[in-house]
């Protein structure tokens, strides 16, 4: 995390998967709301969010929890040799830029202004593409909170 004037402008979260009560609290509306209060208006947050294919309910729950805490949310994923297809969520405070607008701006990048070893504009565009219906939460899915830690039940039913 980089902090400016007491507020963060970039936050990268790589918590362990929510397989216990203690870890589930890290993926709660309470935690994300508290974090959002400590972020600049244009700050960006990236959250490790398990496998969107092998633990779909957990992945979608994290997105719903971030939205419930007041964030704009954009899911993404990539293949990791040690994990398979893995997912994250970008989140931000700024209500002036919708997820569709941010995605459109990223898709228009012809090249990056910094050198990268792996990432290309084409690879980045692919990271935000999902199969049909993959991001549609089932009607029973709820955000995770400290008082209603649903994410652990989703995790228990998750990995195929």
CATH classification at residue 27: 3.40.50.150
Is 113 a residue whose pLDDT tops 60? yes
Number of domains present in the structure of the chain:
1
Residue 159: predicted pLDDT? 57
Answer whether 119's CB lies under 8 Å from 108's CB. no
CA distance 62 to 59: 5
**Band of pLDDT at residue 160, cut at 50, 70 and 90:** very low
Give the structural domain span for 132: 2-158
Is 2 a residue whose pLDDT tops 70? no
CA distance 83 to 5: 37
Give the active site residues. 14
Considering only CA atoms, which of 19, 81, 10, 75 is closest in space to residue 48? 75
Q: Lowest-pLDDT range, 3-7, 24-28, 71-75, 104-108?
A: 3-7
Residue 4: predicted pLDDT? 53
pLDDT in tens, 39-90: 998 999 999 999 999 999 999 999 999 999 999 999 999 998 888 899 999 9
- Average pLDDT value for residue range 122-133: 92
- Average pLDDT value for residue range 25-48: 95
Is 95 a residue whose pLDDT tops 90? no
Answer whether 32's CB lies under 8 Å from 65's CB. yes
């Amino acid at each position: 995390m980089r902090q400016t004037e007491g507020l963060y402008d970039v936050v990268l979260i790589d918590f362990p998967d929510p397989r216990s009560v203690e870890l589930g609290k890290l993926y709660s509306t309470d935690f994300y709301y508290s974090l959002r209060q400590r972020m600049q208006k244009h700050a960006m947050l990236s959250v490790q969010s398990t496998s969107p294919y092998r633990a779909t309910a957990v992945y979608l729950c994290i997105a719903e929890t971030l939205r419930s805490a007041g964030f704009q949310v954009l899911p993404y994923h990539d293949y990791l040799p040690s994990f398979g297809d893995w997912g994250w969520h970008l989140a931000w405070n700024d209500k002036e830029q919708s997820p569709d607008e941010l995605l459109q701006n990223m898709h228009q990048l012809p090249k990056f202004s910094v050198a990268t070893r792996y990432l290309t504009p084409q690879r980045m565009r692919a990271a935000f593409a999902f199969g049909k219906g993959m991001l549609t939460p089932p009607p029973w899915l709820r955000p995770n909170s400290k008082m209603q830690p649903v994410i652990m039940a989703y995790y228990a039913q998750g990995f195929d």
